[in-house]
Chain A
Amino acid sequence: MSQNALFYGGVVWVAVLLGIVVIKVATSRTTGQKILALDLLTLVLIGLLALVAGETQRSDTLDAALALALLSFVATLAAARYYENRKPYE
């Protein structure tokens, strides 16, 4: 029972963090800050997936976490490159 309370509390907490980061993405002043906040958004999502995997003891949510980590890396790199020289590649 207490285990469940901890888990649901954690999920609600991470959901609140997600909302804060989304607001931060929308309101940040410079493009660099927006890209950083988007990167953090996927990190928080991976944390949420790890919570669910720990509670349900099913490993398929971690597959999603792994794919999300790889995707967010490519997305952040492409966005930063585009911001730096207005082209995604040299």
Chain B
Amino acid sequence: MTAVIADVLFVLGLLILTIGVYGVVRLPDTFTQSHAASKAGFLGVAFLLISASVEGDGGIIARAVLTITVLALTTPVAAHAVLRAARTRGEEMRSPGAVDES
């Protein structure tokens, strides 16, 4: 049973990670890419880590929990820093019908 759960999480994590990479390649500007890059990537990696720890011993579980916590706290900050830099340096939004209320 646990093996099935691990495999499902494994495939799901790979799928979300792939969508994140595809989004970075396909979306038009820095602002929209950050949605795919940091966040979809984070969830994919989190699924892979949970999949690794489903059948693992205490050592793997402890490190997986620690890594997921660190990623959950750091990826938003990194995305925010990059976007603020992009906005300060005046990168343009290339998406169709872009809104800018700033």
Residues of A within 8 A of B (CB): 3, 6, 10, 13-14, 17, 20-21, 24, 30-33, 35-37, 39-40, 43-44, 46-47, 50-51, 53-54, 57, 59, 62-63, 65-66, 69-70, 72-73, 76-77, 80-81, 83-85
Interface size class on chain B is 35 or more
Q: Determine whether the beta carbon of B63 is less than 8 Å from that of A32.
A: no
Given A47-B48, A81-B85, A84-B85: A40 in contact with B42 (beta carbons within 8 A): no
Q: Determine whether the beta carbon of A62 is less than 8 Å from that of B63.
A: yes
Q: Determine whether the beta carbon of A32 is less than 8 Å from that of B85.
A: yes
Q: Determine whether the beta carbon of B37 is less than 8 Å from that of A36.
A: yes
Q: Determine whether the beta carbon of B7 is less than 8 Å from that of A76.
A: no
Q: Determine whether the beta carbon of B82 is less than 8 Å from that of A76.
A: yes
Given A6-B10, A54-B51: A40 in contact with B89 (beta carbons within 8 A): no
Contact of A81 among B17, B55, B81 (CB under 8 A): B81
